Structure 1
């Protein structure tokens, strides 16, 4: 069976993978779904020092301290930045990279540059809390922004979203072992609605054609957990 490290996107936490994690564990897989520093159950750790490098280190150190090898790194949205960086830091511990409707950065690119239209919109809500520039302040109905339209699931999601330090989105990613990282197999699970904004030819070429799409909201791990878990299970057996 496979070993999964599920990395959430901006404003989320490990909680958002609960439905997928339950399904993967029922299939016999080992699953880690941590919350990144300063978010969700780790929001009490928020500080001006938290940036993209912090979150890359969160996952790189998890790989090291849990002694994981051949791990399938799964990154959703902003989490694509994080898994790319973590695989670059610890390529010897990663067996596959999976981009779940996620950022797919180039060297020296920030999420703000990579997904400018969406992140610029988020930047309009920039505010300062205890000296930390934050974005994505949670508010009622925010789950709909992520494509969660079911009222009950939306309320559950709204109750768990947290603001995120702006530096995470503004810091440019730096690679240490890009060749080794790019050599790790990759797959892409994409929401049909976001395909027009992506370089699908690049994703298809680099993944060897391992690109699948589904017509659902951006938080597909919540709206379509069966499909996501089934696809991840299949990827782990490649």
Structure 2
């Protein structure tokens, strides 16, 4: 378990916007959200277009990364949310990076949870070399990828795996093929990476953060720490994003 001493602002009310990853929806945060809300913070867990309860979006296979960035920006604007802590899991890291670049005034900090952390012009397929082949198989040569089995993502708990399978829905391939448009995260924006140790795909991403002097936390979890370690993840989020050169063991 990771632990840090909360900074002086830890007791102030924050707004967390939790952004899910591939094949998921806002439902995936249901074990984490109440823990944050119980301490007096505001939590939003929107579902991106084309997934879960929004799976009937008529744009279908035309939904891409830009669609999701635009949709999340619209959500923040409609809800009047500013100075939010954006938490992106897996593919959600692509979305929060795009939002932070487009509307930095609405974002106070970014947390990448075992997530893609792109530079402008990079796609998910660029960042994980084996991913295009996986998506091609899951899509059967088409443009909609069926859900990846949770076991491939390190989920070794049968109950967690069954719960994830039950909620997962197909994903437009374009979301992972499309590169991050526009500017990326402003360099001065506070950022933290949380790596899940039982899934190796993002080990190099975490190492890159460390090399840049950015804070990195580690959780003994499969790829879905919000499912397997919600209390420990809540502790990390409630403590706030540490200083640039501070690491979290």
Length-normalised TM-score, structure 1:
0.88
Q: Which runs of 4+ in 1 moved over 4 A?
A: none
Q: CA deviation at 1:215?
A: 2.2
Q: CA deviation at 1:98?
A: 0.3
Distance 1:196 1:221 in 2: 16
Consecutive unaligned residues in structure 2, runs of 5 or more = 1-12, 244-249
Structure ranking higher in helix proportion: 1
* Aligned counterpart, 1:226: 231
Would the aligned equivalents of 2:62 and 2:172 in 1 still touch at CA under 8 Å? Answer: no
* Aligned counterpart, 2:27: 15
Distance 1:133 1:150 in 2: 30
Structure 1 residues 196 and 83: CA distance shift in structure 2, 3 A: closer
Q: CA deviation at 1:106?
A: 1.3
Distance 2:221 2:188 in 1: 30
* Aligned counterpart, 2:143: 133
Would the aligned equivalents of 1:38 and 1:164 in 2 still touch at CA under 8 Å? Answer: yes
Q: CA deviation at 1:48?
A: 2.9
Would the aligned equivalents of 1:13 and 1:36 in 2 still touch at CA under 8 Å? Answer: yes
Structure 1 residues 172 and 209: CA distance shift in structure 2, 3 A: closer
Choose the corresponding residue for 2:106, options 90, 93, 98.
Answer: 93
Name the stretch that deviates more: 119-128 or 166-175.
119-128
Q: Is residue 84 from structure 1 mapped to residue 97 from structure 2 by the alignment? A: yes
* Aligned counterpart, 2:160: 153
Secondary structure at the aligned position of 1:73 is classed as strand
Q: CA deviation at 1:38?
A: 0.3
Deviations 1:96-120 (A, max 9, x none): 0000000010111111111122343
Distance 1:119 1:233 in 2: 36
Would the aligned equivalents of 1:2 and 1:236 in 2 still touch at CA under 8 Å? Answer: no
Secondary structure at the aligned position of 2:71 is classed as helix
RMSD, matched Cα: 2.1
Length-normalised TM-score, structure 2:
0.85
Choose the corresponding residue for 1:48, options 61, 65, 75.
Answer: 61
Secondary structure at the aligned position of 2:135 is classed as helix
Q: CA deviation at 1:71?
A: 0.2
Structure 1 residues 171 and 196: CA distance shift in structure 2, 3 A: closer
Secondary structure at the aligned position of 1:37 is classed as coil
Distance 1:52 1:202 in 2: 23
Q: CA deviation at 1:182?
A: 2.7
Q: CA deviation at 1:186?
A: 0.3
